[in-house]
Structures are given as structure tokens and as C-alpha cells.
Amino acid sequence: MMTEQTIHINIHKEQGSTLVVVLFLLLIIMIVGTYAIKTGITSLRISTNAQINQLLTQAADTPLNKYLNTVDLTRLMSYSTAVGAAIDETAPNREFIFCYKPRVGRVFGSIVDTSVIAANETEDGARLVDSGINGLCDLTQDFGSARQAVVTQVAITIPRERDPTKQVGSHLVRGTNLSIGSGLPKNLISSQAIRVTTTAFLPAYANTTITNLQAACLSSNNVFISDNLSAEMSTKRTLKDCLMDFNVPVVSQVQEFNLASFLEQTVAP
């Protein structure tokens, strides 16, 4: 009887030791698995952020490229477009804004789809000036592609002060040499600098509803400038700032263009 009881006790101890080893291995597996999941989630977030940034950068580039590749300056600078209206404007610090809507069959930057805004003098934000809200993007439908994800707001301004980041004479047309008294090229008709600011963003990522986001950043009661590069506007909040308050992924780009018209003689007189 003593022998049988001893064997039974030894078997029980061996089973208990095996169970402890199994539990210890399971604990190690859980720790390693948790770490692997955490690492995978972090990598996924980094990858997603990179993809979002690339998508927004491309969306912000698209309207700029349309201006860059424009060859018909007569149509571009006519009063029927935002650029032409901005050039004709005499009041300072006004923006001509429109939403980039390639799926709408109208002229790019048409004055019909443009709003004029001016920054408030004594308070933050801006106001609509003698125009409707056609230039404000509708966050429920004014998407830049069929993917219905990215919305791009475009702002046209006319720089009226010297840019300290530019070298002296950088705005002059090729063929001009002031050191020898050379004036503008004879075939130059006109030259005008414009500044285009694009703000591309993903409204679906906001930490509020689309309706609230629209009312807070892009409505007749709440509108913001996009270009605050001038000294007077440097302290003003922009549309990008407003969107970032709601954790909206956003990319803003600025590019200046020097629109120069030349006469080209194709037939000898």
C-alpha cells in the first residue's frame, strides 16, 4: 500500500510541473504576440499616414499644375476667371477662392464658381465680400476625383509687397538686363505675378460631423483666408488651421506664377 501511494503522489507532482511549464509558455507566446500586434499596428499607421500625405500632396499639386501648363493666357487672365478678377481687383488683401471640381463640366476657376473674401481687421477669420458662397467647397459632394475622398480649396491672391526670400531682379523676364540699361523685351505685352494657394484635405477623418466641419470652416458665417504670407496677414488663422482644429488631415501648398504674354511673329511682314 505504501508503494502504490508513493507512485500516485509522484505522478501528481509531475502533472503539476508540466502544467506550470505550459502556462509559462502560453504567457511568453501572449507577450510576444502582443508585441508583434503592437508593432504591426504602428507600422500600419505609419504606412497609412504616408499614403494619406502622398494622396493629399498630389491633390494639392493638381490645380497648380493646371495653371503651370496653361498656354492660353488670354483666357486665363480674362475677367471671367478667378485669376482675371483678382488681377483687376484694386483693394488689397483679398482672396478669390474656388473649389477644385474636375467632375463639374465648367471652366477651371470660372468666376461663376468663385467667392471673394477679405480678412477681418480687428478679429480672427474672414468675411465674404460682394459675392456668394459658390467658391466654398461643399464637403458632401465637391470631391477632387471619383474616389470621393479629397476636397481641394484654391485661393488666388496678387502679391503686392516684396518677398524677402527672393533675390533682387528674380521677377524680371528673361532677356532683361538692367545693368546695361536694357528694358523689357520688345515682344513682351504684359507681366503679372499671382500667388496660388491650394488646401487639400480629407473631411471624413474629422473628429466631428461633416455638417459641423462645414459650418465651422467653410460657411458664410465662418470663412478663413488661405494665404497669410504677407506681413499684414502673418498673424491670421488660415483654413488649414481651422481644419487642423478638428484633426482633419490637410496639406497646403503655395506657388507663385509670373504670367508673361509675348507676341510671336509667325509670318514675315
Q: Is 94 helix (H, G, I), strand (E, B) or coil?
A: strand
Q: Is 164 helix (H, G, I), strand (E, B) or coil?
A: coil
What is the residue extent of each domain of the chain? 46-162+184-262
Query: What is the full per-residue pLDDT of the chain (269 aa) written as tens digits?
Result: 444 454 454 555 566 667 777 777 777 787 777 766 665 555 545 456 778 888 899 999 999 998 888 767 777 778 888 988 888 888 888 999 999 998 887 788 888 899 999 998 877 789 999 778 999 999 999 998 877 889 999 999 988 765 555 565 555 555 555 454 444 444 444 567 889 999 999 999 899 999 999 999 999 999 999 999 888 888 899 999 999 999 999 999 999 888 765 555 556 55
Our CA angle for 67, 84, 131, nearest 5°, is: 110
- What's the burial of 188, exposed, middle or buried (CB within 10 Å: 0-12/13-18/19+)? middle
Rounded distance, CA 159 to CA 195, Å?
A: 7
Instruction: Record the pTM.
Output: 0.72
Rounded distance, CA 131 to CA 140, Å?
A: 22
